[in-house]
Amino acid sequence: MNKHLSAMIALLLASSMSFAADYNARTIKFAATSPKGTPPAIGMELFAKKVNERSGGKIKVRTFPNGVLGGDVQVLSSLQGGVVEMMTWNAGLMLNHVTDFGILDFPFIYTDTAKVDAMLDGDVGKMLTDQLPEKKLVGLAFWELGERNLTNNVRPVQTLEDFAGLKIRAQQSPLFLEVWSALGANPTPLPFTEVHTALETHTVDGQENPAALILASKFNEVQKYLSLTRHNYNPQIVLIGKSFWDTLNEDEKALLTEVAQEVRIEQRQISRAADSKAIADLESSGMKVNEIPAEELVRIQQKVSPVVDKYAAQINPELVKKVYEAVGYRQE
C-alpha cells in the first residue's frame, strides 16, 4: 500500500511540475542511422516517452531510426540548417567539425566503461560540448553505441597479419582511414546506410560495429567471420540544432537536457546488456566468432600508435592530458 501511495505521489508531483512549467506545443524530429531495436534507438524512444509525459503532452518527439531521414552527414547538416531538430551520432565523428572530438575515436584506449562514463559526464565532456554552439549545434548528453568489432567474409582475424588486404568499410573520418591503412587493410569510407549493400555485392569484404548493431543490421546474413577486436568504444552524442534550441524557453531547455541526461544511465545499461547477448546470437546464427590473443592485441596497438600520436598532436594538450589521466592511458 505504501509503495503504491509513494508512486502515486511521485506521479502527481511530476504532473504538477509539468503544469507549472512553461511548455509550448512543439514536435521534435529525432533522427539516427541506428536501426530500430538497437541501444541508441531504444534510448531515443525512452527520451520521447519521458519528454511527452513530463511536458503534459505538449512536447512530442518523433523518432526516425534506420537512417530514414538520411545518412549521418546529411542529417547533421539538416540539424545545423534547422530542418531536423535532434540526432544521436557517434561522438568521435564530430572530428570533422570540432577537431578535439577525434580523441573519442582513438583505438584501444577506452577499455574501462566506468572510467569512460565518469570522463564524459565530467570535465572532458563539457570541454567538448562547449565547442559545439559555434558549429550551430548543442550537445545534451553522451549515450553509447558500444565496443566495435570486425566482421569480414575472407578469414578470421586473429593476428596483425590477418588484416592485410582486407577491404573494410570505414567510418567517414580521416582518423579511421589512417588506422585501417596502418593495419594493412584497404579502408573504404561509406555512410552506414550503404553498408549492407556494399557487403552483399562484395564491394567491401567487411565492416566494424558493435555486436548489437551487427545483429540488428543483419550483417550476419552477408558476413562469415566476427573477430572480437574491441578496437573502439563508441560514445554517442545527443545533439540538438542550435537554431531550434534558441527558440526554446528556459523550461523547455531544462526539460530536454534533464531527460537526455537521465536516459543516458538506462541507455548505457541497455547497451552493455545487449552486447554479450548479440555476440551469442551472432554465433548461434552461424557466424564464426573468435577472440584476439592478448599478445596480438599488443602488436596491433603498437602498429596504430603512430596514428594516435599524430592526431593527439592536433588536439588541445589540456584535453589530451585529462583524457589520458581519466582512462589511465600511457603513451609509449
pLDDT in tens, 190-238: 988 899 999 999 999 999 999 999 999 999 999 999 999 999 999 999 9
Q: Which amino acid would we find at residue 218?
A: K
The closest of 331, 309, 332 to 102, measured between CA atoms, is 309
104-156 pLDDT per residue, tens: 999 999 989 999 999 999 999 999 999 999 999 999 999 999 999 999 999 99
Residue 271 to residue 107: CA distance in whole angstroms: 19
Q: pLDDT tier at 5 (50, 70, 90 boundaries)? A: low
The β-bridge partners of 186 are 167
Indicate if the pLDDT at residue 4 is higher than 60: no
Report, in this order, helix, strand and coil percent for the chain, each rounded to 5. Answer: 55, 20, 25
What is the average per-residue pLDDT within 146-170?
97
Q: Stretch 11-27: mean pLDDT, rounded?
A: 69
| Long-range contacts, 197-202 (Cβ 8 Å, 24+) | 198/169, 199/153, 199/169, 199/223, 202/153
What Cα–Cα distance (Å) separates residue 103 from each residue in 57, 138, 180, 317?
A: 39, 19, 16, 11
Architecture of domain 2-322: 3-Layer(aba) Sandwich (3.40)
Task: Read off the pTM.
Answer: 0.86
Angle at 215 between CA 105 and CA 211, to 5 degrees: 35
Distance CA 139, CA 229 (A): 29
Cell of 90: 557517434
Cell of 115: 572510467
